[in-house]
Structure formats: C-alpha cells, structure tokens
Amino acid sequence: MTDITHVTVLGTGVLGSQIAFQTAYSGFAVAAYDISDEVLEKARQRFAGLADTYRVDGVAGDAEGKAVAALDRVRYSADLADAVKDADLVIEAIPEILSLKQETYEKLGKVAPEKTIFATNSSTLLPSDLKDFTGRPEKFLALHFANQVWKYNTAEVMGTADTDPAVFDEIVAFAGEIGMVPIPIHKEKAGYVLNSLLVPFLNASYALAAGGYAEPKDIDNVWRIATGAPLGPLQITDIIGLTTPYNILSNAGPEAKPLAEWLKATYIDQGKLGIATGHGFYDYTNTGE
C-alpha cells in the first residue's frame, strides 16, 4: 500500500483522460489539469465517454455503476497551482514536445508541494531529458501507459540515475493499485521494453513486404500460426495506424528512408491509414480481411 491518495494528471487528451479516469475508477481523488476551461469542458465529455466505455466493455463487471461513481472523484482546474495543491503524485501527459514539457516541469516544480512525485508518460523522450527542469530529480521518473489503459494495462516504470529507489518502488506499487501490471525497467532505455521489442519487429515485417519476399497476409499467417500469437505485425500496424510507424521510420536515419517512402506511397498516399480509415494492409469495409 502506498501513501498516495491525491493524483493530478496534466493534459486531458487521449492518454491523460484515460490515466485520470482509471485512477479515479481505482478510488483515488483526481485533479485533471489542462490549458483552458474550454479544453476542460471537452475533458468532462471524454470522462463521461470513458465511463460509458467501461460499462460497455464490462470492465470489472460494472453492475453497481462504479464507472459513473468515478466521475465524482475528478475535479477540473486550468490553474496549475490549484490543480496540484494536494497532489501526492502528478502524472504528466501533455504533447510530446521537448520544450513544452521542459517549460511545464519548470513551472510545476515551483508550485507543487515538496512531497509531490512527478511522473511523465512520454513515449519517446527519456526522463533524463526532463529531470533537470523538475527541481526534484530524485522524485521524478517515467510511468508509461499503453493506449486503452483499461484493456492494455501495462505500466512501464523507468527512473533516471537520480531517481530515489524508494520513489521508484512506490510508483511500481501505485501502478498496481490502479489496476496496471507494473513493468519495472532498471536502466533508462529509449522505447522502454515494449517499443524496444515492437518497433524492430514491425519494421522487419515491412521490409519483408516491401522487398516482395511474401504477401502481407502470409507474413501475418506465419507469425500467428507458428508462434501462437493472436495478431501478426501488419494487423498490429493497422490497429496502431500507419502514420505512427511512418513517422518513426522517417526519423530513424537514411537507411530507414526507403521503407518510410514505401509505406507512404503504397498505403498512406492511398488513404490506407489503418483500421480507423477502413483500409490499411487489410480492407475492413466488407469482409474484415
């Protein structure tokens, strides 16, 4: 059991709203912070939508309206000092822009109580890129969730060399308290564990398809049948959306450029961006194939 009772989430977008709602659902008092009252009004709608999703998805059998009750544990504030005044933990889920995160940590470090632990949900930045802006590197680390936290409930916990081991352990325990499976990472690693495995795996599948070695469906078939995995790499890509791997490949140096161009010319330029658009490596409009 941790000493954490009050959690503030910075940013109420895709991931921030899910993290805040899951935390409230788990019984914590949550403050949701975003840049304006207008954005926070949208956040209220997102939270209500999540309460509905939890009911529909039958998360923990929601017969007693636990998801709706969670809404009452969330308060909203567009004033940073007010949002963090009681916080034992701040989880930051603002856009993936280094300068914006650095500025935000500088402000946060000045207004948050001394006891408050800060955790970043950043996907691609290392906590070392941010720690010196927090004013409290010993109480700062990464806590990285996966999209759709109620279903894909991993939380990768990764500190810097400066993170106090007791703080690290407390956040591992907290992740468990909000229904996540904590994945402690002992040294800083870009991509954490998940993306260190997933990105090269997906890239290998694109190289096989782009090189004409095998058809996309057969690449997925061999992976599924021979390993027992539920999905092949190209099916996974259709769920993620093709823009994300395209952006990753485009920023991965000159050797990765031809693969990025192939994804763009063959799929993205044809409007085939993944399941969300009805087409990706597969056509989802009729047959689900």
d(CA 210, CA 281): 12
| 13 binds ligand NAD, rule: CB under 6 A | yes
- Using rule CB under 6 A, residue 147 touches ligand NAD: yes
Contacts of 67 (CB under 8 A, 6+ apart): 25, 50, 51, 52, 54, 55, 59
For ligand NAD, the closer of residues 4 and 9 by Cβ is 9
User: Per CB under 6 A, does 34 bind ligand NAD?
Assistant: yes
Q: How far is the CB of 226 from ligand NAD (least distance, A)?
A: 29
Residue 16 within binding range of ligand NAD, rule CB under 6 A: yes
Cα dist. 257→125, 203, 207, 212, 250 in Å?
Answer: 22, 12, 12, 17, 6
Cα(120)–Cα(127) distance, integer angstroms: 7
Nearer to ligand NAD, 69 or 276 (CB): 276
Comparing CB distances to ligand NAD, the nearer of 39 and 173 is 39
> Residue 134: helix, strand or coil by DSSP?
coil
Considering the rule CB under 6 A, would residue 134 count as an interface residue with ligand NAD? no
Q: Which stretch binds ligand NAD (CB under 6 A): 11-19, 194-202, 246-254, 266-274?
A: 11-19
Choice from 8, 22, 23, 121 touching ligand NAD (CB under 6 A): 121
- Of the candidates 11, 145, 134, the one whose C-alpha atom is nearest the C-alpha of residue 76 is 11
Contact mark string toward ligand NAD, 60..99, x via CB under 6 A: ---------------------------------xxxx---
| Burial (CB count <10 Å: 0-12, 13-18, 19+), residue 145 | buried
CA terminus-to-terminus distance, the chain: 46
Q: Does 38 participate in binding ligand NAD (rule CB under 6 A)? A: no
Task: Report, in Å, the least distance between residue 143 CB and ligand NAD.
Answer: 10
93, 10 in Cβ contact below 8 A? Answer: yes
The structure tokens listed for 275 are 């399941």
Q: Which residues bind ligand NAD (CB under 6 A)?
A: 10-16, 33-35, 39, 93-96, 100, 104, 121-123, 145, 147
